[in-house]
Structure 1
Amino acid sequence: MALAPVAAPALLLLLALPARAWPGLGLPRRPCVHCCRPAWPPAAPGPHAPMSDGEEWVWPPRVQPTIDISILKGAKGEAGLRGRTGRSGKEGPPGSRGPRGRKGQKGQVGPPGAPCQRAYAAFSVGRREGLHSSDDFQAVTFDTELVNLDSAFDLASGRFLCAVPGIYFLSLNVHTWNYKETYLHVMCNRRATAVLYAQPSERSVMQTQSLLLPLDAGDTVWVRMFQRDRDNAIYGEHGDLYITFSGHLVKPATEL
Protein backbone atom coordinates (compact mmCIF):
# COMPACT_ATOMS: atom_id res chain seq x y z
CA MET A 1 0.00 0.00 0.00
CA ALA A 2 1.37 3.35 -0.97
CA LEU A 3 1.60 6.12 1.64
CA ALA A 4 0.18 9.48 1.11
CA PRO A 5 2.69 12.09 0.20
CA VAL A 6 1.92 14.08 3.41
CA ALA A 7 2.17 11.10 5.84
CA ALA A 8 5.56 9.91 4.60
CA PRO A 9 7.57 12.85 5.99
CA ALA A 10 5.78 12.66 9.42
CA LEU A 11 6.57 8.97 9.75
CA LEU A 12 10.19 9.60 9.01
CA LEU A 13 10.25 12.35 11.69
CA LEU A 14 8.83 10.01 14.33
CA LEU A 15 11.38 7.35 13.56
CA ALA A 16 14.18 9.90 13.92
CA LEU A 17 13.10 11.07 17.40
CA PRO A 18 14.65 9.34 20.46
CA ALA A 19 12.51 6.96 22.46
CA ARG A 20 12.37 9.22 25.59
CA ALA A 21 10.61 11.91 23.48
CA TRP A 22 7.69 9.74 22.58
CA PRO A 23 5.74 10.21 25.83
CA GLY A 24 5.52 13.90 25.03
CA LEU A 25 3.80 13.09 21.78
CA GLY A 26 0.96 11.35 23.51
CA LEU A 27 1.82 7.95 22.11
CA PRO A 28 0.82 4.92 24.12
CA ARG A 29 3.74 3.41 26.25
CA ARG A 30 3.99 -0.20 27.17
CA PRO A 31 6.19 -1.34 29.99
CA CYS A 32 9.23 -3.47 29.27
CA VAL A 33 8.62 -7.04 30.24
CA HIS A 34 11.49 -9.53 30.70
CA CYS A 35 10.69 -13.11 30.27
CA CYS A 36 13.70 -14.19 32.33
CA ARG A 37 16.14 -12.28 34.66
CA PRO A 38 19.58 -13.65 35.45
CA ALA A 39 20.59 -13.88 39.14
CA TRP A 40 23.84 -12.00 38.46
CA PRO A 41 24.59 -9.33 37.66
CA PRO A 42 21.55 -7.53 39.14
CA ALA A 43 19.29 -5.68 36.78
CA ALA A 44 19.76 -2.01 36.30
CA PRO A 45 17.14 0.21 37.85
CA GLY A 46 14.05 0.66 35.71
CA PRO A 47 13.03 3.89 34.11
CA HIS A 48 10.82 4.75 37.08
CA ALA A 49 13.47 4.04 39.82
CA PRO A 50 14.16 7.22 41.78
CA MET A 51 17.70 8.60 41.48
CA SER A 52 19.16 11.39 43.61
CA ASP A 53 20.53 14.50 42.00
CA GLY A 54 23.91 13.86 40.52
CA GLU A 55 23.77 10.10 41.21
CA GLU A 56 25.02 7.88 38.45
CA TRP A 57 24.21 4.25 38.17
CA VAL A 58 27.47 2.32 37.57
CA TRP A 59 27.90 -1.27 36.64
CA PRO A 60 29.62 -3.25 37.90
CA PRO A 61 29.37 -1.59 41.36
CA ARG A 62 32.56 -0.13 42.81
CA VAL A 63 34.06 -2.24 45.64
CA GLN A 64 36.54 -0.74 48.17
CA PRO A 65 39.74 -2.80 48.26
CA THR A 66 40.63 -4.43 51.64
CA ILE A 67 44.13 -5.12 53.00
CA ASP A 68 44.95 -8.08 55.25
CA ILE A 69 46.79 -6.39 58.18
CA SER A 70 48.15 -9.74 59.40
CA ILE A 71 50.24 -9.94 56.25
CA LEU A 72 51.78 -6.47 56.85
CA LYS A 73 52.49 -7.03 60.66
CA GLY A 74 56.19 -7.43 61.34
CA ALA A 75 58.06 -9.42 64.01
CA LYS A 76 58.07 -8.19 67.65
CA GLY A 77 61.02 -5.94 68.37
CA GLU A 78 63.35 -5.99 71.38
CA ALA A 79 62.50 -4.06 74.56
CA GLY A 80 64.04 -0.60 74.76
CA LEU A 81 66.04 0.92 77.58
CA ARG A 82 64.12 1.89 80.70
CA GLY A 83 63.53 5.60 80.96
CA ARG A 84 64.18 7.79 83.97
CA THR A 85 61.77 7.67 86.83
CA GLY A 86 59.45 10.63 86.81
CA ARG A 87 58.93 12.93 89.75
CA SER A 88 56.39 11.93 92.32
CA GLY A 89 53.05 13.54 91.95
CA LYS A 90 51.22 15.47 94.59
CA GLU A 91 49.81 13.48 97.46
CA GLY A 92 46.20 12.77 96.94
CA PRO A 93 43.47 13.25 99.49
CA PRO A 94 42.99 10.44 102.03
CA GLY A 95 40.61 7.80 100.92
CA SER A 96 37.46 6.83 102.66
CA ARG A 97 37.62 4.38 105.53
CA GLY A 98 37.39 0.82 104.42
CA PRO A 99 34.96 -1.73 105.73
CA ARG A 100 35.66 -3.28 109.11
CA GLY A 101 37.41 -6.60 108.88
CA ARG A 102 36.45 -9.78 110.58
CA LYS A 103 37.51 -10.37 114.16
CA GLY A 104 40.71 -12.37 114.39
CA GLN A 105 41.35 -15.41 116.48
CA LYS A 106 42.38 -15.09 120.10
CA GLY A 107 46.13 -15.16 120.55
CA GLN A 108 48.16 -17.20 122.96
CA VAL A 109 48.89 -16.03 126.47
CA GLY A 110 52.20 -14.19 126.68
CA PRO A 111 54.92 -14.71 129.24
CA PRO A 112 54.45 -13.06 132.64
CA GLY A 113 55.87 -9.58 132.96
CA ALA A 114 58.52 -8.46 135.39
CA PRO A 115 57.21 -7.84 138.89
CA CYS A 116 56.71 -4.22 139.84
CA GLN A 117 59.77 -3.14 141.79
CA ARG A 118 59.47 -0.12 144.01
CA ALA A 119 62.62 1.60 145.10
CA TYR A 120 63.30 2.01 148.82
CA ALA A 121 66.07 3.78 150.67
CA ALA A 122 66.22 4.73 154.35
CA PHE A 123 68.60 5.07 157.26
CA SER A 124 68.46 6.14 160.90
CA VAL A 125 71.56 6.18 163.10
CA GLY A 126 72.51 7.60 166.52
CA ARG A 127 75.41 8.55 168.74
CA ARG A 128 75.38 7.89 172.49
CA GLU A 129 78.70 9.49 173.36
CA GLY A 130 79.06 13.28 173.45
CA LEU A 131 81.46 15.00 171.11
CA HIS A 132 83.78 18.05 171.41
CA SER A 133 85.26 19.58 168.27
CA SER A 134 89.01 19.19 167.96
CA ASP A 135 89.39 20.72 164.45
CA ASP A 136 87.85 23.45 162.36
CA PHE A 137 85.86 20.88 160.37
CA GLN A 138 85.16 17.53 162.02
CA ALA A 139 82.86 14.76 160.72
CA VAL A 140 80.36 13.38 163.22
CA THR A 141 80.50 9.59 163.41
CA PHE A 142 77.82 7.32 164.86
CA ASP A 143 77.82 4.21 167.02
CA THR A 144 74.18 3.06 166.91
CA GLU A 145 72.36 1.66 163.88
CA LEU A 146 68.57 1.88 163.97
CA VAL A 147 67.67 1.46 160.28
CA ASN A 148 70.19 0.87 157.49
CA LEU A 149 68.65 -0.54 154.28
CA ASP A 150 71.20 -2.24 152.03
CA SER A 151 73.94 -1.05 154.43
CA ALA A 152 74.00 2.29 152.62
CA PHE A 153 75.14 4.17 155.76
CA ASP A 154 78.71 3.72 157.00
CA LEU A 155 78.85 4.30 160.79
CA ALA A 156 82.65 4.65 160.90
CA SER A 157 82.75 7.54 158.40
CA GLY A 158 79.29 8.89 159.25
CA ARG A 159 78.28 9.00 155.55
CA PHE A 160 75.20 7.81 153.65
CA LEU A 161 75.90 6.75 150.06
CA CYS A 162 72.93 7.33 147.72
CA ALA A 163 72.21 4.38 145.41
CA VAL A 164 68.63 5.30 144.40
CA PRO A 165 68.41 8.84 143.00
CA GLY A 166 65.42 10.93 143.99
CA ILE A 167 64.07 13.29 146.66
CA TYR A 168 65.14 12.51 150.24
CA PHE A 169 63.93 13.78 153.60
CA LEU A 170 66.77 14.35 156.10
CA SER A 171 66.55 15.09 159.83
CA LEU A 172 69.25 15.89 162.42
CA ASN A 173 68.60 15.99 166.21
CA VAL A 174 71.15 16.91 168.91
CA HIS A 175 71.32 17.96 172.58
CA THR A 176 73.35 21.09 173.38
CA TRP A 177 76.07 21.27 176.04
CA ASN A 178 75.83 23.77 178.90
CA TYR A 179 77.77 26.99 178.31
CA LYS A 180 79.07 25.69 174.96
CA GLU A 181 78.19 26.59 171.37
CA THR A 182 76.56 24.05 169.07
CA TYR A 183 77.35 24.57 165.37
CA LEU A 184 76.71 21.77 162.84
CA HIS A 185 76.30 21.49 159.06
CA VAL A 186 74.22 18.94 157.11
CA MET A 187 76.53 18.21 154.19
CA CYS A 188 75.92 16.91 150.65
CA ASN A 189 79.28 15.83 149.29
CA ARG A 190 81.43 18.90 150.06
CA ARG A 191 78.60 21.43 150.17
CA ALA A 192 76.89 22.64 153.34
CA THR A 193 73.13 22.50 152.71
CA ALA A 194 71.70 23.37 156.17
CA VAL A 195 72.91 24.63 159.57
CA LEU A 196 71.96 23.57 163.10
CA TYR A 197 73.04 26.24 165.62
CA ALA A 198 72.54 27.04 169.31
CA GLN A 199 74.22 29.80 171.33
CA PRO A 200 75.97 29.02 174.62
CA SER A 201 73.51 28.87 177.54
CA GLU A 202 73.43 27.72 181.15
CA ARG A 203 70.63 25.32 180.16
CA SER A 204 71.01 22.53 177.62
CA VAL A 205 68.20 22.09 175.06
CA MET A 206 67.25 19.76 172.18
CA GLN A 207 67.85 21.22 168.71
CA THR A 208 66.61 19.84 165.38
CA GLN A 209 67.05 20.56 161.67
CA SER A 210 65.22 18.91 158.75
CA LEU A 211 65.10 19.41 154.98
CA LEU A 212 64.20 17.85 151.61
CA LEU A 213 67.17 17.29 149.32
CA PRO A 214 67.50 15.89 145.77
CA LEU A 215 70.24 13.30 145.55
CA ASP A 216 71.86 11.62 142.58
CA ALA A 217 73.38 8.16 142.56
CA GLY A 218 76.82 8.39 144.20
CA ASP A 219 76.09 11.45 146.36
CA THR A 220 77.06 11.30 150.03
CA VAL A 221 75.23 12.88 152.96
CA TRP A 222 76.96 13.50 156.34
CA VAL A 223 77.20 15.85 159.35
CA ARG A 224 80.18 17.97 160.33
CA MET A 225 81.05 20.20 163.33
CA PHE A 226 82.22 23.72 162.55
CA GLN A 227 84.54 25.23 165.18
CA ARG A 228 84.92 28.97 165.53
CA ASP A 229 86.45 30.98 168.44
CA ARG A 230 84.28 29.17 171.02
CA ASP A 231 84.10 25.59 172.18
CA ASN A 232 81.76 23.53 169.97
CA ALA A 233 80.15 20.43 171.50
CA ILE A 234 77.07 18.16 171.51
CA TYR A 235 75.91 16.30 174.58
CA GLY A 236 75.47 12.56 174.91
CA GLU A 237 75.46 9.75 177.47
CA HIS A 238 75.46 5.97 177.24
CA GLY A 239 72.11 5.46 178.89
CA ASP A 240 70.04 7.60 176.49
CA LEU A 241 70.17 8.43 172.79
CA TYR A 242 70.28 12.20 172.27
CA ILE A 243 71.97 12.45 168.86
CA THR A 244 70.20 11.03 165.78
CA PHE A 245 70.56 11.43 162.03
CA SER A 246 67.86 10.00 159.71
CA GLY A 247 66.86 10.08 156.05
CA HIS A 248 64.56 8.26 153.63
CA LEU A 249 63.58 8.35 149.97
CA VAL A 250 60.39 10.31 149.34
CA LYS A 251 60.11 9.87 145.55
CA PRO A 252 62.49 8.16 143.10
CA ALA A 253 63.87 10.15 140.19
CA THR A 254 62.12 7.77 137.76
CA GLU A 255 58.75 9.04 138.99
CA LEU A 256 59.57 12.74 138.85
Structure 2
Amino acid sequence: MMQTHKLPGPVVCLCTLVLLCMGTASEPYTPPYSDSDPERYDHRASHHPRDYHRDASEVKRVECRRCCDPEEEGPTYPHPAPQYQVVPHINITILKGEKGDSGLRGPYGKAGKGGKAGPRGVHGMKGSKGTMGPTGDPCKSYYAAFSVGRKKALHSNEYYQTLVFDTEFVNLYNHFNMFTGKFFCYVPGIYFFSLNVHTWNQKETYMHVMKNEEEMVILYAQPSDRSVMQSQSFMLDLQQNDEVWVRLFKGERENAVFSDDYDTYITFSGYLVKATSEG
Protein backbone atom coordinates (compact mmCIF):
# COMPACT_ATOMS: atom_id res chain seq x y z
CA MET A 1 0.00 0.00 0.00
CA MET A 2 1.37 3.24 -1.24
CA GLN A 3 1.93 5.95 1.29
CA THR A 4 1.27 9.61 0.30
CA HIS A 5 3.04 12.64 1.67
CA LYS A 6 1.29 16.00 1.89
CA LEU A 7 3.14 19.26 1.27
CA PRO A 8 2.81 21.85 3.86
CA GLY A 9 0.52 24.78 3.02
CA PRO A 10 3.10 27.56 2.97
CA VAL A 11 5.19 25.73 0.42
CA VAL A 12 2.23 25.38 -1.93
CA CYS A 13 1.49 29.06 -1.76
CA LEU A 14 5.09 29.99 -2.52
CA CYS A 15 5.21 27.76 -5.57
CA THR A 16 1.97 29.16 -6.89
CA LEU A 17 3.28 32.71 -6.57
CA VAL A 18 6.51 31.86 -8.44
CA LEU A 19 4.58 30.33 -11.30
CA LEU A 20 2.37 33.38 -11.62
CA CYS A 21 5.42 35.69 -11.75
CA MET A 22 7.03 33.56 -14.40
CA GLY A 23 3.93 33.64 -16.57
CA THR A 24 3.66 37.37 -16.30
CA ALA A 25 7.30 37.91 -17.19
CA SER A 26 7.01 35.70 -20.26
CA GLU A 27 4.36 37.97 -21.92
CA PRO A 28 5.78 40.74 -24.16
CA TYR A 29 5.50 44.34 -22.98
CA THR A 30 2.98 46.38 -24.91
CA PRO A 31 3.10 50.19 -24.59
CA PRO A 32 -0.20 51.97 -23.99
CA TYR A 33 0.17 53.87 -27.31
CA SER A 34 1.64 53.22 -30.74
CA ASP A 35 4.84 54.76 -32.15
CA SER A 36 2.85 56.58 -34.83
CA ASP A 37 0.56 58.32 -32.40
CA PRO A 38 1.34 62.06 -32.53
CA GLU A 39 -0.19 62.61 -29.16
CA ARG A 40 1.78 59.95 -27.36
CA TYR A 41 2.72 60.40 -23.83
CA ASP A 42 5.83 62.43 -23.17
CA HIS A 43 7.49 61.74 -19.85
CA ARG A 44 8.66 65.36 -19.84
CA ALA A 45 5.05 66.50 -19.78
CA SER A 46 4.78 65.57 -16.11
CA HIS A 47 6.86 68.61 -15.29
CA HIS A 48 4.45 70.96 -17.21
CA PRO A 49 0.85 70.26 -16.26
CA ARG A 50 -0.31 73.08 -18.56
CA ASP A 51 0.58 71.05 -21.71
CA TYR A 52 -2.46 68.88 -21.18
CA HIS A 53 -4.74 71.87 -21.80
CA ARG A 54 -3.23 72.89 -25.30
CA ASP A 55 -5.68 72.79 -28.15
CA ALA A 56 -5.27 70.91 -31.39
CA SER A 57 -4.15 74.00 -33.42
CA GLU A 58 -1.30 74.66 -31.02
CA VAL A 59 -0.22 71.06 -31.18
CA LYS A 60 -0.24 71.21 -35.01
CA ARG A 61 1.83 74.39 -35.06
CA VAL A 62 4.75 72.82 -33.22
CA GLU A 63 4.96 69.81 -35.47
CA CYS A 64 8.25 69.38 -37.41
CA ARG A 65 7.86 69.53 -41.16
CA ARG A 66 10.26 69.62 -44.11
CA CYS A 67 10.61 72.88 -45.97
CA CYS A 68 9.86 71.09 -49.24
CA ASP A 69 6.36 69.92 -48.15
CA PRO A 70 3.62 71.25 -50.49
CA GLU A 71 1.40 72.43 -47.65
CA GLU A 72 3.74 75.23 -46.67
CA GLU A 73 5.66 77.71 -48.84
CA GLY A 74 9.10 79.11 -48.02
CA PRO A 75 9.65 82.76 -47.26
CA THR A 76 9.35 85.24 -50.09
CA TYR A 77 11.91 87.95 -50.85
CA PRO A 78 11.46 91.27 -52.63
CA HIS A 79 14.15 90.30 -55.21
CA PRO A 80 14.70 86.93 -56.87
CA ALA A 81 17.44 84.85 -55.38
CA PRO A 82 20.64 84.92 -57.44
CA GLN A 83 21.29 81.93 -59.58
CA TYR A 84 24.83 80.57 -59.64
CA GLN A 85 26.30 78.52 -62.45
CA VAL A 86 29.24 76.26 -62.00
CA VAL A 87 31.86 77.04 -64.68
CA PRO A 88 34.55 74.42 -65.12
CA HIS A 89 38.15 75.68 -65.09
CA ILE A 90 40.14 74.53 -68.12
CA ASN A 91 43.89 74.88 -68.37
CA ILE A 92 44.26 76.34 -71.87
CA THR A 93 47.99 75.81 -71.89
CA ILE A 94 47.49 72.10 -72.55
CA LEU A 95 44.96 72.76 -75.36
CA LYS A 96 47.47 74.13 -77.93
CA GLY A 97 46.15 73.98 -81.45
CA GLU A 98 47.90 74.00 -84.81
CA LYS A 99 49.85 77.08 -85.89
CA GLY A 100 47.77 79.41 -87.99
CA ASP A 101 48.72 81.18 -91.22
CA SER A 102 50.66 84.41 -91.03
CA GLY A 103 48.56 87.50 -91.29
CA LEU A 104 49.02 90.38 -93.68
CA ARG A 105 51.81 92.81 -92.96
CA GLY A 106 50.51 95.90 -91.29
CA PRO A 107 51.34 99.45 -92.37
CA TYR A 108 54.49 101.11 -91.18
CA GLY A 109 54.15 103.22 -88.10
CA LYS A 110 55.27 106.77 -87.73
CA ALA A 111 58.96 107.39 -87.42
CA GLY A 112 60.08 107.83 -83.87
CA LYS A 113 62.21 110.58 -82.50
CA GLY A 114 65.91 110.32 -83.05
CA GLY A 115 67.84 109.15 -80.06
CA LYS A 116 71.00 110.58 -78.67
CA ALA A 117 74.32 109.53 -80.13
CA GLY A 118 75.84 106.68 -78.20
CA PRO A 119 79.38 106.58 -76.91
CA ARG A 120 82.15 105.90 -79.37
CA GLY A 121 83.11 102.26 -79.55
CA VAL A 122 86.54 100.79 -79.24
CA HIS A 123 88.85 100.56 -82.25
CA GLY A 124 88.56 97.31 -84.12
CA MET A 125 91.36 95.20 -85.43
CA LYS A 126 93.13 96.32 -88.58
CA GLY A 127 91.81 94.49 -91.60
CA SER A 128 93.83 92.88 -94.34
CA LYS A 129 94.85 94.83 -97.42
CA GLY A 130 92.30 94.70 -100.19
CA THR A 131 92.89 94.02 -103.86
CA MET A 132 93.79 96.82 -106.24
CA GLY A 133 90.79 98.42 -107.85
CA PRO A 134 90.35 99.17 -111.56
CA THR A 135 91.94 102.20 -113.16
CA GLY A 136 89.96 105.34 -112.50
CA ASP A 137 88.47 107.67 -115.04
CA PRO A 138 91.42 109.30 -116.84
CA CYS A 139 89.33 112.36 -117.61
CA LYS A 140 89.66 113.39 -113.99
CA SER A 141 93.43 113.72 -114.37
CA TYR A 142 94.35 116.99 -116.10
CA TYR A 143 98.13 116.50 -116.11
CA ALA A 144 100.37 114.52 -118.46
CA ALA A 145 104.09 114.98 -119.14
CA PHE A 146 107.15 112.95 -120.06
CA SER A 147 110.78 113.44 -121.09
CA VAL A 148 113.07 110.53 -122.01
CA GLY A 149 116.54 110.06 -123.61
CA ARG A 150 118.76 107.53 -125.39
CA LYS A 151 122.51 106.95 -124.99
CA LYS A 152 123.03 104.41 -127.78
CA ALA A 153 123.46 105.07 -131.50
CA LEU A 154 121.03 103.51 -133.99
CA HIS A 155 121.67 102.43 -137.60
CA SER A 156 119.03 101.65 -140.17
CA ASN A 157 118.45 98.23 -141.79
CA GLU A 158 115.88 96.68 -144.10
CA TYR A 159 112.80 97.58 -141.98
CA TYR A 160 111.50 100.42 -139.82
CA GLN A 161 112.87 100.53 -136.28
CA THR A 162 111.07 101.95 -133.25
CA LEU A 163 113.25 104.33 -131.28
CA VAL A 164 113.40 102.93 -127.74
CA PHE A 165 114.75 105.06 -124.90
CA ASP A 166 116.86 104.01 -121.94
CA THR A 167 116.87 107.16 -119.79
CA GLU A 168 113.83 108.52 -117.97
CA PHE A 169 113.79 112.19 -116.93
CA VAL A 170 110.08 112.76 -116.31
CA ASN A 171 107.29 110.24 -116.67
CA LEU A 172 104.17 111.56 -114.92
CA TYR A 173 101.70 108.78 -114.05
CA ASN A 174 103.82 106.43 -116.25
CA HIS A 175 102.00 107.46 -119.39
CA PHE A 176 105.16 106.78 -121.41
CA ASN A 177 106.03 103.09 -121.78
CA MET A 178 109.81 102.68 -121.59
CA PHE A 179 109.66 99.12 -123.00
CA THR A 180 107.74 99.95 -126.16
CA GLY A 181 109.01 103.54 -126.59
CA LYS A 182 105.45 104.86 -126.99
CA PHE A 183 103.44 107.56 -125.20
CA PHE A 184 99.89 106.42 -124.36
CA CYS A 185 97.21 109.11 -124.19
CA TYR A 186 95.03 108.75 -121.08
CA VAL A 187 93.84 112.37 -121.04
CA PRO A 188 92.38 113.65 -124.34
CA GLY A 189 93.48 117.15 -125.27
CA ILE A 190 96.15 119.29 -126.92
CA TYR A 191 99.75 118.10 -126.47
CA PHE A 192 103.13 119.62 -127.30
CA PHE A 193 105.97 117.30 -128.45
CA SER A 194 109.67 117.86 -129.10
CA LEU A 195 112.28 115.51 -130.70
CA ASN A 196 116.04 116.18 -130.60
CA VAL A 197 118.75 113.99 -132.24
CA HIS A 198 122.45 114.20 -133.16
CA THR A 199 123.33 113.45 -136.79
CA TRP A 200 126.16 111.18 -137.88
CA ASN A 201 129.07 112.33 -140.13
CA GLN A 202 128.58 111.51 -143.79
CA LYS A 203 125.28 109.77 -143.01
CA GLU A 204 121.68 110.69 -143.59
CA THR A 205 119.29 111.20 -140.67
CA TYR A 206 115.70 110.25 -141.53
CA MET A 207 113.07 109.82 -138.77
CA HIS A 208 109.25 109.98 -138.40
CA VAL A 209 107.12 111.00 -135.40
CA MET A 210 104.08 108.70 -135.52
CA LYS A 211 100.52 108.96 -134.20
CA ASN A 212 99.32 105.40 -134.01
CA GLU A 213 100.32 104.11 -137.50
CA GLU A 214 100.16 107.50 -139.21
CA GLU A 215 103.22 109.69 -139.98
CA MET A 216 102.79 113.11 -138.38
CA VAL A 217 106.12 114.94 -138.82
CA ILE A 218 109.59 114.11 -140.17
CA LEU A 219 113.04 114.93 -138.87
CA TYR A 220 115.60 114.94 -141.66
CA ALA A 221 119.28 115.91 -142.11
CA GLN A 222 121.36 115.42 -145.26
CA PRO A 223 124.78 113.81 -145.11
CA SER A 224 127.49 116.25 -144.05
CA ASP A 225 131.14 116.29 -143.14
CA ARG A 226 130.27 117.25 -139.60
CA SER A 227 127.57 116.15 -137.23
CA VAL A 228 124.97 118.61 -135.89
CA MET A 229 122.02 118.67 -133.44
CA GLN A 230 118.70 118.44 -135.25
CA SER A 231 115.26 119.05 -133.66
CA GLN A 232 111.56 118.98 -134.44
CA SER A 233 108.67 120.32 -132.36
CA PHE A 234 104.91 120.29 -132.94
CA MET A 235 101.46 120.01 -131.27
CA LEU A 236 98.83 117.30 -131.65
CA ASP A 237 95.17 116.93 -130.72
CA LEU A 238 95.00 113.48 -129.17
CA GLN A 239 92.07 111.31 -128.24
CA GLN A 240 92.04 108.72 -125.50
CA ASN A 241 94.14 105.61 -126.30
CA ASP A 242 96.14 107.35 -129.03
CA GLU A 243 99.85 106.47 -129.14
CA VAL A 244 102.76 108.76 -130.14
CA TRP A 245 106.20 107.30 -130.93
CA VAL A 246 109.34 107.72 -133.11
CA ARG A 247 110.70 105.39 -135.78
CA LEU A 248 113.89 105.28 -137.90
CA PHE A 249 113.33 105.02 -141.66
CA LYS A 250 114.36 101.76 -143.41
CA GLY A 251 117.78 101.65 -145.02
CA GLU A 252 117.47 102.65 -148.67
CA ARG A 253 120.58 104.70 -147.94
CA GLU A 254 122.88 104.71 -144.97
CA ASN A 255 120.78 106.24 -142.18
CA ALA A 256 121.80 106.69 -138.53
CA VAL A 257 121.67 108.81 -135.35
CA PHE A 258 124.65 109.37 -133.12
CA SER A 259 125.07 108.86 -129.36
CA ASP A 260 127.54 107.34 -126.90
CA ASP A 261 127.50 105.72 -123.50
CA TYR A 262 128.56 108.85 -121.65
CA ASP A 263 126.25 111.60 -122.93
CA THR A 264 122.60 111.73 -123.95
CA TYR A 265 122.29 113.01 -127.52
CA ILE A 266 118.72 111.86 -128.27
CA THR A 267 115.66 113.19 -126.32
CA PHE A 268 111.90 112.98 -126.77
CA SER A 269 109.50 115.07 -124.65
CA GLY A 270 105.80 115.93 -124.47
CA TYR A 271 103.20 117.42 -122.15
CA LEU A 272 99.51 118.26 -121.99
CA VAL A 273 98.64 121.84 -122.90
CA LYS A 274 94.86 121.69 -122.38
CA ALA A 275 92.55 118.80 -121.66
CA THR A 276 89.45 118.34 -123.76
CA SER A 277 87.26 118.11 -120.62
CA GLU A 278 88.24 121.67 -119.68
CA GLY A 279 86.14 123.01 -122.55
Aligned pairs (5 A) from 1:40-59? none
Q: Which residue pairs with 1:224 in the alignment?
A: 247
Identical pairs, percent:
57
Matched, 1:175 2:198: yes
1:116-160, Cα deviation, whole Å (9 max, x unpaired): x66100000000011111233111000000000111111121101
- How many residues are paired up? 140
Q: Which residue pairs with 1:212 in the alignment?
A: 235
One-letter amino acid matched to 1:230? R
Q: Which residue pairs with 1:95 in the alignment?
A: none
Q: Which residue pairs with 1:43 in the alignment?
A: none
One-letter amino acid matched to 2:156? S
Shift of 1:241: 0.8
Q: Which residue pairs with 1:234 in the alignment?
A: 257
Question: In structure 1, what is the Cα distance between the partners aligned to 2:157 and 2:170?
Answer: 29
Q: Which runs of 4+ in 1 moved over 3 A?
A: none
Determine if contact 2:176/2:182 at 8 Å carries over to the other structure: yes
Q: Which residue pairs with 1:196 in the alignment?
A: 219
Determine if contact 2:157/2:251 at 8 Å carries over to the other structure: no
Q: Which residue pairs with 2:175 in the alignment?
A: 152
Determine if contact 2:203/2:224 at 8 Å carries over to the other structure: yes
Matched, 1:119 2:142: yes
One-letter amino acid matched to 1:220? E
One-letter amino acid matched to 2:275? P
One-letter amino acid matched to 1:159? K
Matched, 1:138 2:138: no
The structure whose Rg is larger is: 2
Determine if contact 2:141/2:187 at 8 Å carries over to the other structure: no
Determine if contact 2:158/2:251 at 8 Å carries over to the other structure: no
One-letter amino acid matched to 2:221? A
1:194-227, Cα deviation, whole Å (9 max, x unpaired): 0000001110000000001001110000000112
Aligned pairs (5 A) from 1:45-84? none
Q: Which residue pairs with 2:96 in the alignment?
A: none
Which blocks of at least 5 consecutive residues in structure 1 are unaligned?
1-116
Shift of 1:228: 4.4
Question: In structure 1, what is the Cα distance between the partners aligned to 2:221 and 2:250?
Answer: 13
Question: In structure 2, what is the Cα distance between the partners aligned to 1:122 and 1:133?
Answer: 29
Question: In structure 2, what is the Cα distance between the partners aligned to 1:228 and 1:192?
Answer: 17
TM-score (norm: length of structure 2): 0.49
